[in-house]
Amino acid sequence: MGLSFSCFDKVDSLERIRYDMRPLKEKGLPIVWLCGQQNTGKRTHGNIIEEKIGCEHISVTHMLRSEGTKDTERGHVIRQSLNLKKSIPDRMVLDILKEHLLKSPTKQGIVISNFPKNAKQADMFLKEIGNVSVILYLYTDTPFLIERAQERSEQELDEESLKKNIETATKDIKTALMKFTAKIENSERRIPKYYKVRTCYKSTLSMIAWTNTATLKGCTEFAKSRNALAFNFSPQEAAKYRQSYARNCQALGCPEIGNSSTLVIDMGYDYYTAYGNWNRDWYKAAYIGLDDIEEEGNFRTVTDTAIRCFRYRAWGPGHPISKHGSEDCVVLDSDRMWRVVPCDIELLALCEFYPVEPLEMAEFEDMTCANISNKRKKKKCNESKDLAKLYNNSTRKDQCAIMNYLDHDDDHDPENDE
């Protein structure tokens, strides 16, 4: 049997200790796990939460390193494990964590970063300490993690070994969190999927990063690592059409919206975006955080900034002149125009446009038309199939001409006006 403990004391023995966790449970504090892959910024995010919200941040990595400096049996085991790059026993991690939790003076909550590392730690926490309120899971792509690990190391690291270690650690953490899916705020879900929506076009919006890469996959991974919402990519066959000094992968902070003048014809590039359905109604009417409640005609944002501080306007015909004094709030309608409405109408508030795939892909597909019974649809399918064959056998210059013709033809297609 183990020893019994009232709250905490100095531990010199490796024998497990029974901790009375009732003082922690009686506080009813929210407990947050801040976990994820190495080099994803867990400590930084933990410190920010501590500063902004007032929760205590317990870094398990710092906690174990501090314990490893002590002249105890437990400190010796931790020191040896760290020096040999071995895993510290899970029971020891939990015991030290319990002591820190019981000593915590906070009344706001506790954020535990770099925990749990595996399913056993998660199960032991639930059984011996209590429940977890929220889980923040930080994620980024493997190439970016390898790059950060190399930058932080004084010597060159083997890339394949790094990749294998990252994959193993990621699998262990995801396995540990499988039973907590309802509590996970997952940054991985927010990494966008990109779609090619324009061939032989390039966005001239501001670039946030650029590089040269041999493949589309490489450019996609680069754009994700920089949190880009869109990118221009120049495939190998288009190299002769771009300027020699220009990088073939250009990450963009903002996507093109609608038929923008910043999207220009350029045979050297193709345009990819997370916001594929850019010319359709993404939403019905929604509040945009603009009103003149305080003073009629003086529209201000939710941050109390006057609209006169901004140059952009999108008023619909007749707006913002109000026929009724109660029309004080501004909405964005399905025609992407601003109009004033009464503030008591129940509508969604528009925070951001959400990523979505395009209704029609920019690439031609090898279609199967034999099973189509409708004559009109079958004729259109065969025409598309013939066009795909022509496109795939054409030079880059001819492919650009075909896509440019189709883009302009679509703009005048009566079916698009329905």
**Per-domain residue ranges of the chain:** 3-188, 192-273, 283-352, 375-417
**Structure tokens belonging to residue 73:** 């049996």
Contact 207, 151 (CB under 8 A): no
With a CB cutoff of 8 Å and minimum separation 6, the contacts of 347 are 284, 285, 286, 287, 331, 341
Write out the chain's pLDDT in tens, 418 residues.
Answer: 344 333 434 444 456 778 899 999 888 889 999 988 888 888 888 888 898 888 999 999 999 999 999 999 999 999 999 999 888 999 999 999 999 999 988 888 999 999 998 989 999 999 999 989 888 888 777 777 888 888 888 888 888 888 888 888 888 888 888 777 656 555 444 556 888 888 999 999 889 899 999 999 999 989 988 878 899 999 999 999 988 888 999 999 888 866 567 889 999 999 999 877 655 444 567 888 888 888 888 888 876 778 877 777 888 888 888 777 788 899 888 677 888 999 888 877 765 555 566 655 556 666 678 788 888 888 888 888 888 888 888 888 888 888 777 765 554 443 444 4
Range list of H helices, 104-259: 119-128, 142-152, 159-176, 216-225
Give me the architecture of the 283-352 domain, per CATH.
Roll (3.10)
Taking the C-alpha atoms of residue 237 and residue 269, their distance in angstroms, rounded to an integer, is: 10
Looking up tokens 């199960």 gives 123
- 119-128 and 159-176 helices, crossing angle to 10°: 30
Instruction: Label residue 127 exposed, middle or buried (CB < 10 Å: 0-12, 13-18, 19+).
Output: exposed
- Do 3-188 and 192-273 come out as alike in CATH topology? no
| SS3 (DSSP) at 232 | strand
Looking up tokens 């650690």 gives 169
With a CB cutoff of 8 Å and minimum separation 6, the contacts of 34 are 42, 45, 46, 49, 111, 112, 113, 114, 115, 136, 138
| SS3 (DSSP) at 120 | helix
Q: What is the DSSP letter of 285?
A: S
Taking the C-alpha atoms of residue 9 and residue 31, their distance in angstroms, rounded to an integer, is: 23
- The CATH superfamily label for domain 3-188 reads P-loop containing nucleotide triphosphate hydrolases (3.40.50.300)
**192-273 CATH fold:** Hepatocyte Growth Factor (3.50.4)
Q: Give the sign of the dihedral formed by CA 397, CA 398, CA 401, CA 406.
A: negative
**Structure tokens belonging to residue 360:** 């029609």
Q: How far is CA 19 from CA 91, 97, 124, 188, 227, in A?
A: 13, 11, 13, 36, 44
